[in-house]
Amino acid sequence: MRIVIAEDLLLLRDGLVRLLTDTGHEVLAAVADAPSLLAAVAGHAPDLSIVDVRLPPGFRDEGLRAALEIRAADPQARVLILSQYVERAYAADLLADGRGGVGYLLKDRVTALDDFLDAIERVASGGTAMDPEVVRQLFARNDRNAGVGALTPREREVLALMAQGLSNSAICAALVLAPVSVEKHITNIFAKLSLPPADDAHRRVRAVLAYLGAEVS
């Protein structure tokens, strides 16, 4: 996979370069600020960009805004955001176009090598990858949502795993359920969140948006 990295902390940036290179990926550029990120993506057209939310000069949301700009210019661009903290609005902004190919992980997740590598593969292939802690906190904050409130405990578990980006087969393995049971739970989730049959490729993202309380595109 061809990857561009935007991370202002030198140690983490160099660590990501080494980790990704050692696992067979090609790092096209590793930069420290948003303008350099935009230039690198325009010049290299990577398969995936890994971007810190907070970049110089303001250390607020420069990385996120650059990621959204990249996605606006190329809807097929794949972006994985790294953040020090759970920030609900950032996760919702990333998912808001409903297309997938995005991820939001806490930086601590990088040290869980298998999880991190799985996340970049999912995002690069057009799926989503949400940090489990992000999902846990977002569920807790949105319990008053009528659709989420109508879900059974098992349906909430399934939706949480969907939000992380897991496939049906991975959900089966995680919850020790038969495929038909997982499919039934997902059908019920879509119904309770008022997501009628349409483009099935994006319904998972739309389900996540529904519990985030974001506007579904």
- The most confident of the ranges 59-63, 179-183, 190-194, 200-204 is 179-183
The pLDDT tens digits of the residues spanning 147-162 come to: 777 889 999 889 888 8
pLDDT > 60? residue 144: no
Q: Quote the CA–CA distance of 197 and 203 in Å, as a whole number.
A: 8
Q: Where are the alpha helices (DSSP H) in 74-199?
A: 88-95, 113-124, 132-141, 146-149, 153-164, 168-175, 179-192
The percent of residues above 70 in pLDDT, for the chain, comes to 86
DSSP-derived secondary structure for 12-73: HHHHHHHHHHHTT-EEEEEESSHHHHHHHHHHH--SEEEEESS-TTT-SSHHHHHHHHHHHH
The residue-averaged pLDDT of 122-130 equals: 87
The pLDDT tens digits of the residues spanning 52-67 come to: 999 988 888 899 999 9
The residue-averaged pLDDT of 36-43 equals: 96
The residue-averaged pLDDT of 9-30 equals: 96
pLDDT > 70? residue 175: yes
Q: Where are the domains of the chain?
A: 2-131, 142-212
Report residue 42: phi and psi, to 5°. -65, -35
Q: 2-131 in CATH: which number?
A: 3.40.50.2300
pLDDT at 192: 87
Question: From the CB of residue 53, how many other CB atoms can be counted at a distance below 10 Å?
Answer: 22
Round the average pLDDT of the chain to a whole number and report it: 85
The torsion of the CA quartet 91, 84, 167, 49, rounded to 10 degrees, works out to: 80
> Residue 185, class by beta-carbon neighbours within 10 Å (0-12 exposed, 13-18 middle, 19+ buried)?
buried
Q: Quote the CA–CA distance of 126 and 76 in Å, as a whole number.
A: 8
Of residues 132 and 141, more confidently modeled: 132
pLDDT band at 134 (very low <50, low <70, confident <90, very high): confident
Give the rounded distance of the alpha carbon of 136 from its chain centre: 14
pLDDT at 159: 87
Of residues 151 and 78, more confidently modeled: 78
pTM of the entire predicted model: 0.79
* Residue 136 near residue 128 (C-beta atoms within 8 A): no
pLDDT at 217: 40
pLDDT at 215: 40
> What is the domain class of 142-212 according to CATH?
mainly alpha
Closest CA to 32 of 12, 66, 8: 8
pLDDT at 183: 93
Of residues 23 and 207, more confidently modeled: 23
61 half-sphere exposure, CB direction, 13 A CA radius: 11
